[in-house]
Amino acid sequence: MIDQSKKSPENTIDDNHIKFIASHMGSKKNEISSHSAQRRKQLLEAACAVIARRGLSGITVNDIANEAGCSYGVIAFHFKTKERLLLAALNVVASKYEAVWSEAMAAAPSSPAERLRILLEVDFDPRIARAADLAVWMAFWDEAPRVTAYKRRCSELKRRSLQSITDLVSELATLRSLDINVEAVSQGLYAITDGCWIFGHVTGQNGPQDRKRYRQICLTFLSAFFPDDFSPMPVASPR
């Protein structure tokens, strides 16, 4: 009778060999995952480029595939539907705004006046207020009343941004013992920043000096309520 408990060397799989195979499979999986993430990033960049040029009305998956230099099937594989692709494109610009905002506020001093200044720097930061980015924002804002998913994402970000301004205006008013309409001042400032974005997008006045002028406009508005913290600043004329 053969003792099955004794395995011949030929039938024995070395533990190190098993670990090597597992490690190799893990590396391949990570490589595939990394390639997939890079491809998704490329497709989203292409989607944002097409949206910036043409808006959302009438664009097709093939338009985006042509921009990305790939087939319709590649986009279908990664995003399944055009709607998912477009929502992911909106999330690209929204997440970029949130990342710049979070980074700036994490390094900001505790002074509410300085934090308000930094919020204005964020709103006109070239990383998020470039002409192409504004064009994408405007396209989604235009469709938000008709598309629930766009409305939800845009509203979520806008409400959070407005709440941040309101909290800082309230804190500064308390610090200075000022009796002001916090909600009106906060919404007024937020409306001015939105207005500057729209004006810059429509007129094409969105260069570095233009963005500087828009910040000055906002600071001048704040100086009317907080003269000890924000001095009226000369606002250069538009080009």
Residues 216/117, Cβ–Cβ less than 8 Å:
no
Report d(CA 82, CA 172) in Å as an integer: 45
Provide the pLDDT for residue 180.
97
Q: Is 48 a residue whose pLDDT tops 50? A: yes
pTM for this entry: 0.80
- Name the token pair of 15: 């533990």
- Give the residue with greater pLDDT, 3 vs 43: 43
What's the token pair of residue 196? 């500057």
d(CA 133, CA 232): 29
Nearest to 117 by CA among 193, 206, 197, 200: 193
Residue-wise pLDDT tens digits, 80-98: 999 999 999 999 999 999 9
Burial (CB count within 10 angstroms: exposed 0-12, middle 13-18, buried 19+), residue 65: buried
pLDDT for the residue 22: 47
CA distance linking residue 237 with residue 47, whole number of Å: 35
Question: pLDDT tens digits for 108-117?
Answer: 999 999 999 9
* Spatial separation of the C-alpha atoms in residues 47 and 49, rounded to whole Å: 5
Which amino acid, one-letter code, is at 124?
F
For tokens 């001042």, name the residue.
Answer: 185
Using the Cα atoms of residue 146, residue 157, residue 44 and residue 121 in order, give the sign of their dihedral: positive
Q: What is the pLDDT of residues 188-210, one digit of tens each?
A: 999 999 999 999 999 999 999 99
Instruction: Look up residue 9 and give its DSSP letter.
Output: G
CB 182 within 8 A of CB 188: no
Q: Span 123-142, mean pLDDT?
A: 94
Amino acid letter, 70? C
Under the banding of pLDDT at 50, 70 and 90, the label for residue 2 is very low
Q: How confident is the model at residue 234 (pLDDT cuts 50, 70, 90)?
A: low
In our burial notation (b when 16+ CB lie closer than 10 A, e otherwise), range 43-64 reads bbebbbbbbbeebbeebebebb
